[in-house]
Amino acid sequence: QRDRQGQWRRNREIYPPENSAPYKIGNGFGRNLRLDKNTLMVDALSAPFTKNVDLNNPVISFFEQYFIQLDREQEVTPIPLPAEKKEGFVQFYILSEDEPKLITLPDNNEELFAAPVVALNNFAVHENLLLLGSQPHQLHINGKGWLFNLKALGNQPVELTTENAHIGDTVAISEQFAVVGNTGTRIFNEDGLENPKTLIRSLKNGSTVVIDSKGELSLDGNILAIMLPPLHTSVESPLLKVFRLDEDATPHLLLE
């Protein structure tokens, strides 16, 4: 939180409940964070390879979600996962109007349309807009983004895709633009090559620009950041690029 001099000061520390899987296992809490006004939603994806693990229980991982009101003195509250899985649909939680909201959407018969459910952080929300990524999973599948209106989820979404490019495993949205990209963490063909791109769509006039770039996306207004993290098996160094986007979606590199 900022103090009166405008400096950032630590306000509080947030931990998972003591009876939860990430607390007992010792990892995974905070994998993804989403903030809306005073509400924080926290994802936990925990692999049981550290402490307090029952080796007779061959569980691969635990996925749990929590939320907390930051303006109140309270502990984190677990978000109950859907009791039953609906065939042909994907369900996941977003933050809307300062509270978690369960979203149910048809999966469009796409195998990886349900990526957000496995905590890949593959969706973004801005006011009444929901942008959902659909990952490439075969050499001939490019991946895409789906843009929904939260006030009319029954309407056909806008499809964001492009030929000869692998996109869809990272997305970002603002009031002006929708962006669908590639984290650069997947290999797609037998030559060890991939064709990651970043697709930028203007929400005001529909202009679309595709650039040769990969990395996690972050967007605020017309400022786009693309962050390429280092991989355990990669020789690439961490790289952050920041762009200013014109109204027609043309990006201009501000810093690298």
Assigned token pair, 131: 């942008």
More confident residue, 113 or 217: 217
Q: Maximum distance among all alpha carbons in the chain? A: 57
Top pLDDT among 111 and 143 is at 143
Q: What is the pLDDT of residue 163?
A: 85
Q: Identify the pLDDT of residue 51.
A: 47
Look at residue 238 and tell me whether its pLDDT is greater than 50: yes
Q: Strands, DSSP E only, in the chain? A: 29-36, 39-46, 62-69, 77-78, 89-96, 99-106, 123-126, 129-134, 144-149, 158-160, 170-173, 177-181, 198-202, 208-211, 216-220, 223-228, 239-245, 251-255
Q: What is the Cα–Cα distance from 150 to 47, expressed in whole angstroms?
A: 33
Q: Which of 86-95, 103-112, 167-176, 241-250 has the lowest mean pLDDT?
A: 103-112
| Region class of 184: left (phi > 0), else alpha (psi between -120 and 50), else beta | left
- pLDDT greater than 50 at residue 55: no
Comparing 217 with 104, which gets the higher pLDDT? Answer: 217
pLDDT category at 131 given cuts 50, 70, 90 is: very high
Higher-pLDDT residue of 176 and 87 is 176
pLDDT, greater one: 226 or 73: 226
pLDDT of residue 186: 62
Q: Give me the helices (H) in 83-217, please.
A: none
Sheet strand arrangement including 62-69: 29-36, 39-46, 62-69, 77-78
The tally of CA atoms less than 13 A away on the side-chain side of residue 199 is: 28
What pLDDT, on a 0 to 100 scale, did the predictor assign at position 16? 92
Residue 171 has pLDDT above 60, yes or no: yes
Higher pLDDT, residue 108 or 243? 243
Q: Please tell me the predicted confidence (pLDDT) of residue 230.
A: 64
Region 106-114: what's the mean pLDDT? 64
Of the ranges 109-123, 181-195, 210-224, which is most confident? 210-224
pLDDT of 85 over the 80 cut:
no
Which range, 60-64, 138-142, 171-175, 211-215, is most confident?
Answer: 171-175
Tell me the pLDDT band of 74, cut-offs 50, 70 and 90.
confident
